[in-house]
């Protein structure tokens, strides 16, 4: 009887016949096999590829075969043809007549039977879309179409109009990495109809991702998303890409372009709720992206929830599969179906404190006591710094080598073994006072936990997970689209050290990120910046180490010109400030 009542409640909610508040959750009442699969080419209102026709974004739709309007889960991505999505790099597939067959990931398999439509849209210029890489614009065009504010057609050129008269207009944008960055950008636009976003390892501040405090992380010709373009866009979008690079500049200055793509700075425009996932071991999208966005959302009063792990660039689906699917289900039910399930009133943060050890906490970062450590010439950090340290810039050496190998490219300062464990959480701040013997210098700083441990394998951009041979199924399958995915397990490795936070900067931007200046050789300059966010417990018996260096060869593009400088750090005026707390708090 309880199962029957649940079935009926879900059916009535989907049909709009009873208030959503009276149902516990949506149920799988619709046929996946009979779901409608179609493509709508949505006009964006632009002509970025200058072919004389409005750009059209290909939106592949799978939706229940019902006369009742349904909400939409939307993933806007450039990767559906070139690289695939998810741990198994799934790509879209199509029948000979162009009808979509495989929808990557589990969203369609799981949610379509529960009364949702899933729309996977190709960013402009990728897969079956025309135009160029304007990701937020591409996603917003689809949201506008779903709300009757944009035109769509049943062909990439010409064709008959297609209306989304099956959609409620309520949209949740989700995605990992670039897809997550797109969802964050869409939310920052304040577009009506976007009710929630679920960015997974997504960038919120493009400047901080591509330029480290004035120091470009890659040569201009190696940035951008041109590798995702379809053959047509690869030719037509060269002027578009050149214009973007010109606006971004090559001097590392924070300018109007970078301000326009800083979604964290526009959190006050967000109308959607946010469920965000981040790994503190992610070297692709560093945790400082999460920290600055999370803080901005809090100041703006945006409903928010976070999943924080010690893993790398990983979807929570491959960390805690059952719990993540359950959380996502309840989150979409709440914000897209209006089911009052209380998910937004539960602890805001699901936190992995150590490999496979999870807890729920009300807020992040925790209340902490600030502690300032100053390096000394004798190689130890303490309350007072003294002396100097000299490093020779070497772009061939990276921070992992700094941590384990004596080198002129870095200076290492380690404390005494800890008598009790200490939790370090938040965004450490570092102040550097240094001089260069040339007119330019890059700075690299890392915080290291020294001591034997088993840690997630995230060094050198590892994910911290490994695939198993078994599969688990999440939803309904078809001959072309399986709901069964490889199971995963934690990838642990023995380690004598773990880099837990790092940061980089251009010393010429010491006075302002908006304007860099050549250095006067031999003159000391002071610069303060934050390291990547962390939440890490340093066990008793371990030592906390501070690394000071120049160019981090693990991060900076080898195509960048070597600076050939020697840096001299004034240790009395160099420090790092950490947030320390009891590991049980």
Rounded Cα distance between 261 and 255, Å, is: 10
Rounded Cα distance between 203 and 182, Å, is: 8
Rounded Cα distance between 215 and 581, Å, is: 32
The DSSP element (H or E) to which 485 belongs, if any, is strand 484-490
The number of C-alpha atoms within 13 Å of 463 and in the hemisphere containing its C-beta is: 14
Structure tokens at 218: 């890659």
Distances (CA, A) of 50 to 85, 130, 131, 525: 30, 10, 8, 47
Contacts of 344 (CB under 8 A, 6+ apart): 273, 303, 305, 334
- Contact indicator for 354, 310 with CB cutoff of 8 Å: yes
Residue with tokens 């379509």: 112
**Ramachandran angles phi, psi of 415, nearest 5°:** -85, 180
Angle at 109 between CA 303 and CA 327, to 5 degrees: 30
Residue with tokens 């149902």: 23
435 catalytic? Reply is: no
Which is catalytic among the residues 129, 177, 309, 376?
A: 177
Structure tokens at 431: 């102040």
| Count of beta carbons in the 10 Å neighbourhood of residue 580 | 15
Residue with tokens 């994910």: 463
Q: Which residues pair with 543 in a beta bridge?
A: 450
Which is catalytic among the residues 313, 497, 509, 536?
A: 313
Rounded Cα distance between 556 and 217, Å, is: 5
Which is catalytic among the residues 282, 318, 333, 393?
A: 282
Structure tokens at 112: 């379509």
Question: From the DSSP assignment, how many helices (H) and strands (E) are in the chain?
Answer: 11, 30
77 catalytic? Reply is: no
Cα dihedral sign, 104-109-111-113 = positive
512 catalytic? Reply is: no
Q: Which residues does the annotation mark as catalytic? A: 177, 282, 313
């Amino acid at each position: 009887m309880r199962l029957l009542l649940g079935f009926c409640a879900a059916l009535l909610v989907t049909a709009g016949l009873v208030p959503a508040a009276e149902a516990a959750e949506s149920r799988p009442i619709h046929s996946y096999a009979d779901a409608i699969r179609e493509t709508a080419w949505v006009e964006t209102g632009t002509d970025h590829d200058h072919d004389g026709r409005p750009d059209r974004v290909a939106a592949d739709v799978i939706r229940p075969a019902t006369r009742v309007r349904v909400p939409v889960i939307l993933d806007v991505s450039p990767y559906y043809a070139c690289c695939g999505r998810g741990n198994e790099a799934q790509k879209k597939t199509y029948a000979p007549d162009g009808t979509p067959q495989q929808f990557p990931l589990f969203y369609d398999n799981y949610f379509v039977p529960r009364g949702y439509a899933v729309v996977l849209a190709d960013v402009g210029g990728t897969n079956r879309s025309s135009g160029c890489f304007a990701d937020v614009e591409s996603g917003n065009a689809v949201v506008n179409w779903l709300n009757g504010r944009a035109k769509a057609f049943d062909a990439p050129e010409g064709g008959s109009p297609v209306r989304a008269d099956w959609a409620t207009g309520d949209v949740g944008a989700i995605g990992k990495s670039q897809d997550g960055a797109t969802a964050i950008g869409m939310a920052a636009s304040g577009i009506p109809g976007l009710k929630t976003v679920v960015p997974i390892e997504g960038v919120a501040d493009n400047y901080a991702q591509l330029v480290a405090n004035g120091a470009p992380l890659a040569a201009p010709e190696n940035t951008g998303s041109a590798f995702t373009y379809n053959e047509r866009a690869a030719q037509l979008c060269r002027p578009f890409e050149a214009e973007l690079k010109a606006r971004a500049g090559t001097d590392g200055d924070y300018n109007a372009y970078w301000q326009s793509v800083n979604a964290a700075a526009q959190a006050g425009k967000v109308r959607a709720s946010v469920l965000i996932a981040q790994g503190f071991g992610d070297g692709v999208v560093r945790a400082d992206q999460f920290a600055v966005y999370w803080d901005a959302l809090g100041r703006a009063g945006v409903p928010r929830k976070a999943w924080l792990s010690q893993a790398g660039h990983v979807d929570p689906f491959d960390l805690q599969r059952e719990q993540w699917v359950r959380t996502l289900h309840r989150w979409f039910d709440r914000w897209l179906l209006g089911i009052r399930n209380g998910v937004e009133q539960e602890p805001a943060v699901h936190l992995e404190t150590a490999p496979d050890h999870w807890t729920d906490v009300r807020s992040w970062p925790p209340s902490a006591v600030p502690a300032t450590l100053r390096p000394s010439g004798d190689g130890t950090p303490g309350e007072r710094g003294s002396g100097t340290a000299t490093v020779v810039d070497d772009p061939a050496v990276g921070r992992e080598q700094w941590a384990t190998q004596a080198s002129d490219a870095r200076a290492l300062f380690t404390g005494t073994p800890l008598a009790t464990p200490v939790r370090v959480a938040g965004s450490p701040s570092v102040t550097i006072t240094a001089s260069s013997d040339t007119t330019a210098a890059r700075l690299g700083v890392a915080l290291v936990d020294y001591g034997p441990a088993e840690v997630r394998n995230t060094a050198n951009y590892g994910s911290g997970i490994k695939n198993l041979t078994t599969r688990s199924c999440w939803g309904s399958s078809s001959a072309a689209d399986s709901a069964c995915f490889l199971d995963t397990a934690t990838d642990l490795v023995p380690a004598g050290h773990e880099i837990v936070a790092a940061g980089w900067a251009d010393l010429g931007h010491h006075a302002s990120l908006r304007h860099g200046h050549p250095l006067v050789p031999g003159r000391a300059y002071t610069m303060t910046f934050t390291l990547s966010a962390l939440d890490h417990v340093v066990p008793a018996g371990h030592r906390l180490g501070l690394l000071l260096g120049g160019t981090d060869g693990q991060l900076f593009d080898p195509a960048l010109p070597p600076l050939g400088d020697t840096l001299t750090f004034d240790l009395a005026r160099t420090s790092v400030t950490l947030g320390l707390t009891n590991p049980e708090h």
